[in-house]
């Protein structure tokens, strides 16, 4: 699936949801899914599980090689580890 195909698939489902007057959890107007704070992102991940877009969103995240934010219930933002001190 190319980036364009994944985007079109997501767009089609979003349009379908709009017709049914439904919105995915990530369309709540917040920036929690893209927050710089990992704790904020962790709170919203469970909201993805009941979303009609879960699989398509994950596929789109894979296709665009997302390296930040939450896609399909997965936080793709790298975690930084502090060096251990002896």
Question: What is the chain's pLDDT, residue by residue, as a tens digit (86 residues)?
Answer: 455 888 888 888 888 887 888 888 988 888 999 999 999 999 999 999 989 889 999 999 998 999 999 999 999 998 765 545 54
- Does residue 70 contact residue 76 with C-beta atoms inside 8 Å? yes
Q: How far apart are CA 14 and CA 29, in angstroms?
A: 15
pTM (2 d.p.): 0.77
- Closest residue by Cα to residue 24 from 59, 49, 4: 49
What's the pLDDT at 69?
Answer: 94
Number of domains in the chain: 1
Q: How far apart are CA 37 and CA 82, in angstroms?
A: 16
What's the pLDDT at 1?
Answer: 47
Does residue 84 fall inside a structural domain? no
What's the pLDDT at 5?
Answer: 82
Does residue 86 fall inside a structural domain? no
Range of the domain at 68: 3-75
């Amino acid at each position: 699936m190319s980036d364009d195909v994944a985007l079109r698939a997501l767009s089609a489902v979003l349009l379908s949801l709009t017709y049914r007057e439904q919105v995915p959890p990530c369309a709540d107007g917040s920036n929690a899914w893209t927050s710089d704070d990992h704790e904020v992102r962790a709170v919203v991940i469970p909201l993805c599980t009941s979303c009609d877009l879960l699989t398509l969103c994950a596929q789109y995240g894979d296709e665009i090689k997302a390296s930040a934010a939450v896609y399909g219930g997965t936080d793709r933002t790298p975690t930084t580890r502090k060096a251990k001190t002896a």
